[in-house]
Copies of this chain bind each other. A is one copy, B any other.
Amino acid sequence: MEKKIKTLGSLTAGPMQVFLDQVDLADGQNKLRIKIDYPEAAALLAFLDRDHVLLVRQFRYAVGHETLEIPAGKVDPGEDPAASALRELREETGYRAKKLEPLFTYYPAVGYSSEKLTLFAAAGLVRCSEIEDQAEIAAVEKWRISDVLDWIHSGRIIDAKTALGIMACTSGKAAGWLSEVFPE
């Protein structure tokens, strides 16, 4: 257990708040902790067929370069994570999905962030509109799952949610769901 003594400073950017807190550790030591209050998030593997997914290319300011990632974003206040995942799919790629399956929920950075992200797998994709997030999404790309897996190991894909989603779909319970959706 770590107990807050006081907040020494904070920063705010939209729905994201960062606190610098002085805390008491179990053994009576004092320590500084960064704590990010982050809204809930959702991300989805958008399967065009059993072997291909949509990835979005976008510039990430915190890492200083473009990344290839699965569609994702913050859950709006009052919104359901599943609805949020489908909204982000539409805004970032212009596609909607007829089928959606939750995979699991995890915390990307438990050491300093309260962010909680639910991963979904989506199928039955239909192109329905233009990309709305033109300022943030540089491109929407179709890639083979086997290539994406290789790129996780080679370092071309660096994003945690993309790696987790792909691995969950190739090995886990979601593989069964995919077999139902895309029977061979």
- Report which A residues bind B (CB closer than 8 A): 1-2, 8-14, 16, 18, 20-21, 23, 25-27, 29, 32-36, 38, 59-64, 67, 69, 103-116, 134-136, 138, 149, 152-153, 155, 158-160, 163-164, 167-168, 170-173
Establish whether residues A135 and B25, one from each chain, have CB atoms under 8 Å apart when the complex forms. yes
Q: Which residue of B lies closest to A67 (CB)?
A: B110
Report 8 cross-chain contacts, Cβ distance below 8 Å, ordered by A residue: A25-B135, A27-B135, A34-B36, A62-B109, A62-B112, A62-B114, A106-B152, A110-B158
- Taking a contact as CB atoms under 8 Å apart, the answer to whether A13 and B25 are in contact is no
Cβ of B160 and Cβ of A171 under 8 Å apart? no
CB-defined contacts of A173 to chain B, threshold 8 Å: 153
CA of A168 to CA of B61, assembled, Å: 28
Q: Please report the C-alpha to C-alpha distance between residue A107 and residue B63 in the assembled complex, in whole angstroms.
A: 9
Across the interface, which residues of B come within 8 angstroms of A167, CB to CB?
164, 167-168, 171-172
| Across-interface contacts of A26 in B (CB, < 8 A) | 59, 135-136, 138
Q: Which residues of B contact A163 (CB under 8 A)?
A: 104, 106, 164
Q: Contact check, A153 vs B104: say whether CB atoms are below 8 A apart.
A: yes
Bound form: Cα–Cα A141–B80 in Å: 35
Give Cα A18 to B163, complex, Å.
25
